[in-house]
Amino acid sequence: MASSSNGSSSATAVYEPNARIRKEAHITSMDQYREMYRLSIDDPDKFWGEIAKEFYFHEESPTKRRLVYNLNVSEGPVEIKFMAGAKLNICYNALDRNIKEKKYAKNIAYYWVGNDPKECAQITYAELLILVCKFANVLKSKGVKKGDRIAVYMPMIIELVVTMLACARIGAVHSVVFGGFSADSLTERLIAAQCKIIVTADGTWRGPKLINLKEIVDDALTKARNQNHVVETCIVVQHLGNLSSNMNKSVSEDEKHPSKRFCHDLKTSWNTATDFWWHDLIVSADESCAPEWMDAEDDLFMLYTSGSTGKPKGVVHSIAGYMVYAATTFKYVFDHHQGDVFWCTADIGWITGHTYVVYGPLLDGATSVMFEGIPFYPDASRYWQIIEKYKVSKFYTAPTAIRALMKYGDEFVTKHNCSSLKILGSVGEPINPEAWLWYYNVVGNKKCVIVDTFWQTETGGHVLTPIPGATPAKPGSATFPFFGVIPAILSEEGKELEGPAEGYLVFKRPWPGMMRTLYGDHERFETTYFKKFPGYYCTGDGARRDEDGYYWVTGRVDDMLNVSGHLLSTAQVESCLIEHAAVSEAAVVSHPHPVKGECLYCFVTLKEVGNFILIDSKLVHNFCNELIQALRSIVRKKIGPFASPEYVQHAPGLPKTRSGKIMRRVLRKIASNDRDMGDISTLADESVVEQLFSLRPKDVAV
């Protein structure tokens, strides 16, 4: 039901929670939300301590249930601790506890759906525990000990979840790398984390495209060795064409099936000293593995995210705080109840997959869908077909996917029965109102609640989000803070702004699931997140708060880009571009994109080499399509296909201040063909601006 409210400068519709959802919800009113929020702020130790009682702690003292922190760099090192000294194991809480205490042994943990619609599987909590224990024993047999870092580079298959939980069970720290990253990006992360083992798969299908993962891993391991880092062991899941007998899989036996063809044609190099097939190792492994009892503040995992300098940051999350926060956000934001089927479409290579494909759902004993494919294969009805088949009730995806699916028309949705849906989630970037309304009207048939969530790799879980049974929604707004989270908006000078305001989005106090440090570089952790505004955690995003107190995230305010939900730094892309022999300088800015939200717009200055350059032994005009494609290829190779620039523009000169700083504000205006430049008097050469306007590509969408 929609009503009208002045939520911003213009009237904004407000959508009240659906009555059927509110009736069964854990939180059924804003009054109840406000009371719980007040307790979480006024007495966080009591609030989180009561929630922590739902989990199993080994020899835990009640006096340890405290959140201790210092966020002010001027008053000593930044530190955040929750229940330090208490002993627990997150794998035990996700599996053993649910099996022993809640009797969920026969409950489905995951319905797995492959790239091809014929491929499907399911696994119960009891079956998952057996696989986890077996692989934990495999890791121990390879010398893995508490604190060792294990790299994981896999498609969306059950063995990925097994690997993460097996690491957690024995106290190893997993470092999952998104399977879309290139060999160079994987190498960088292997070395940074000093990983001793990598777990991967032979390959995967991404729609109609074959990806030879083992080949990429081999390339990365060679590059790591050339930089004096040796990964001792590579464990490979034979995923394609030889599906595991440990799960109840139903697969077509047609020899023309894509996975069958790839299995036959796959050329996999093999080093018998270091490479091992998963199935060979796991077949004789013991089904029992006692959990390692860890300290609440021991590391659980690290996950690399882009940094503004171009060097990835190894975000570290500890065990107890992340566990409690992941489970609590999952329970309340998706209003989880037994009998729900939850589906988060995110890849586990990102934090969304960690928290809302793996840990959050399992800790709450949920049944989830895990999907290896893409939303447009074999056609644009794939999501809706899966929702109909498994009667998905809670669905969580990215605005990029929503916008792309909108373009195919409503009929791909409406030809499927999606009446099981109750809650529709959005994640990865701010969702534009048009996509929000299509999601609500067409996918949800005006009967679902939309939860537009804001959070980051660093936050561990949702920090701004509607509560489905309580919060009146405004399309495009992340609404209000989650429990324990105190947002604020600051001016450039660091002054806290009250009432309706726009500025830097910061948080005044940590919460249990917040990151603890950057791996091996606590100084960078403090500098990146806390030095700009001492005493506050700075998100790097801007936000607006309206007169009703709703928060609207406006996007990055630092040198970062959010492309299809993937965070990239301008420096990271620029360093790729200048590797080309013809390029002397490059500057990258974000540009609006109707599907991706943002795309990369690159300004490239060439070396003074005349009118022609050499590309692939061919003499071509210095700024032709061949050069543009060569530059795109470098970025794809160094970072990954998802980072490929949308636009590459010739820039004989760049707008710089007299001190040599590139004014990206001006470049964003040029990219958008917006001549309202504001004050450009600080430019060393103002004539550069008009020159760049004249060289804009003709196909740029504005």
- Positive or negative: CA dihedral 325, 327, 329, 332: negative
Q: What are phi and psi of 692, to 5 degrees?
A: -70, -35
The answer to whether residue 357 scores a pLDDT higher than 50 is yes
Asked if 230 and 291 sit in the same domain, the reply is: yes
In a domain, 214, yes or no: yes
Q: Does residue 519 form part of some domain?
A: yes
Contact 504, 489 (CB under 8 A): yes
Q: How confident is the model at residue 255 (pLDDT cuts 50, 70, 90)?
A: very low
Q: Are residues 126 and 193 in the same domain?
A: yes
Mean pLDDT value across residues 310-330: 95
Separation of alpha carbons 217 and 391, rounded Å: 37
Residue 644 confidence (pLDDT) above 80: yes
Confidence at residue 243, expressed as pLDDT on a 0 to 100 scale: 43
CB neighbours of 410 closer than 8 A, spacing ≥ 6? 442
Question: Per the domain annotation, does 469 fall within a domain?
Answer: yes
CATH code for the domain of 86 = 3.40.50.12780
Q: Do 90 and 134 fall into the same domain?
A: yes
Domain range holding 218?
A: 48-242+267-542
Q: What are phi and psi of 566, to 5 degrees?
A: -95, 125
Measured CA to CA, the distance from residue 467 to residue 36 in angstroms comes to 12
Q: What is the pTM of this model?
A: 0.85
- 123 versus 242: the higher-pLDDT residue is 123
Based on the domain organization, do 569 and 490 belong to the same domain?
Answer: no
Question: Is residue 661 over pLDDT 90?
Answer: no
* Per-residue model confidence (pLDDT) at position 292: 98
| pLDDT at residue 307, as a whole number | 67
Strand arrangement, sheet containing 313-318: 275-277, 233-237, 197-201, 149-153, 173-176, 299-305, 313-318, 517-518
330 torsion bin: left (phi>0), alpha (psi -120 to 50), beta (else): alpha
Residue 73, judged by CB atoms within 10 A of its CB (0-12, 13-18, 19+), counts as: middle
Residue 405 vs residues 59, 428, 443: alpha-carbon distances, Å: 51, 16, 10
The pLDDT value given to residue 678: 74
- Asked if 137 and 143 count as a contact pair (C-beta separation under 8 A), the reply is no
User: Which residue, among 476, 468, 427, has the nearest Cα to 450 in the 3D structure?
Assistant: 468
Q: Whose structure tokens read 């739902």?
A: 54
Position 40 in a domain: no
In a domain, 509, yes or no: yes
Question: In sequence order, which residues have a C-beta less than 8 Å from that of residue 242 and are 6 or more positions away?
Answer: 263, 279
Report pLDDT for 6: 35
Token pair of 64 as six digits? 């340890």
Between CA 238 and CA 455, with CA 644 as vertex, the angle to 5 degrees is 80
Backbone angles phi, psi at 367, to 5 degrees: -105, 125
Same domain membership, residue 592 and residue 481:
no
Among 512, 542, 572, identify where a domain stops: 542
Percent with pLDDT over 70 in the chain? 89
Beta strand segments in 346-426, E: 367-371, 394-397, 423-426
- Antiparallel, parallel or unpaired: β 551-556 and 517-518: unpaired
- 509 & 606 share domain: no
504 has which bridge partners? 490, 542
Whether 535 and 617 share a structural domain: no
517 and 621, same domain (yes or no): no
The larger pLDDT score, comparing residue 300 to residue 589, is at: 300
Distance CA 647, CA 643 (A): 12
Q: Which of 511, 542, 573 is the last residue of a domain?
A: 542
- What ranges make up the beta strands (E) of 337-463? 341-344, 367-371, 394-397, 423-426, 449-452
- CB-based contact 125:395 (threshold 8 Å): no
Cα(45)–Cα(82) distance, integer angstroms:
9
In a domain, 360, yes or no: yes
With the C-alpha atoms ordered 564, 567, 570, 575, is the resulting torsion angle positive or negative? negative
pLDDT at 12 over 90: no
Of the three residues 542, 576, 596, the one that is the final residue of a domain is 542
Residue 135's pLDDT is 98
Distance CA 249, CA 675 (A): 59
Q: What pLDDT sits at residue 66?
A: 86
Q: Specify the range with the lowest mean pLDDT, choosing from 548-552, 637-641, 666-670, 676-680.
A: 676-680
Structure token digits, residue 377: 């294969």
DSSP 217-247: HHHHHHHHHHTT----EEEEE--SSS--TTS
**pLDDT band (50, 70, 90) for residue 605:** confident
What is the SS3 assignment for 254? coil
The answer to whether 452 and 478 are in contact (CB under 8 A) is yes
Do 568 and 538 fall into the same domain?
no
Centroid of chain to Cα 409: 27
Would you say residue 377 has pLDDT above 50?
yes
| Average confidence (pLDDT) over 481-504 | 94
Report the candidate in 604, 572, 612, 599 with the shortest Cα–Cα distance to residue 587. Answer: 604
The pLDDT of residue 244? 42
Residue pLDDT, tens place only, 168-225: 999 999 999 999 899 999 999 999 999 999 999 999 999 998 899 999 999 999 999 9
Q: 464: which strand partners?
A: 454, 481
Q: How would you class 659 by CB atoms within 10 Å of its CB: exposed for 0-12, middle for 13-18, buried for 19 or more?
A: exposed
Per-residue pLDDT at 5 exceeds 50: no
Weakest mean pLDDT among 61-75, 362-376, 510-524, 629-643: 61-75
Q: What is the pLDDT of residues 225-245, one digit of tens each?
A: 999 999 999 999 999 854 443
| Buried-exposed string 487-517: b where 16+ CB fall within 10 A, e elsewhere | bbbbeeeeeeeeeeeebbbbbebbbbbbbbb
User: Which pLDDT score, from 0 to 100, does residue 378 have?
Assistant: 95
Q: What DSSP designation does 458 have? A: G
Which CATH number belongs to the domain containing residue 615 in this structure? 3.30.300.30
Q: What is the DSSP letter of 10?
A: S
User: Are residues 574 and 536 located together in one domain of the fold?
Assistant: no
Whole-number pLDDT of residue 250: 44
Inform me whether the pLDDT recorded for 527 exceeds 70: yes
Q: Which letter does DSSP use for residue 642 in this model?
A: G
Q: Is the pLDDT of residue 564 over 90?
A: no
**Residues 534 and 570 grouped into a single domain:** no
Peptide bond into 378 cis (omega under 30): yes
Rounded mean pLDDT, 266-295: 93
Largest CA distance in the chain: 75
Backbone dihedral region for residue 66 (phi beyond 0: left; psi -120 to 50: alpha; all else: beta): beta
In a domain, 29, yes or no: no
In a domain, 655, yes or no: yes
64-89, pLDDT tens digit by residue?
678 999 999 989 999 999 999 999 99
In the chain, % of residues over pLDDT 90: 70
Whether 147 and 204 share a structural domain = yes
Residue 566 has pLDDT above 80, yes or no: no
Instruction: Give the chain's mean pLDDT.
Output: 89
* Number of structural domains the chain divides into: 2
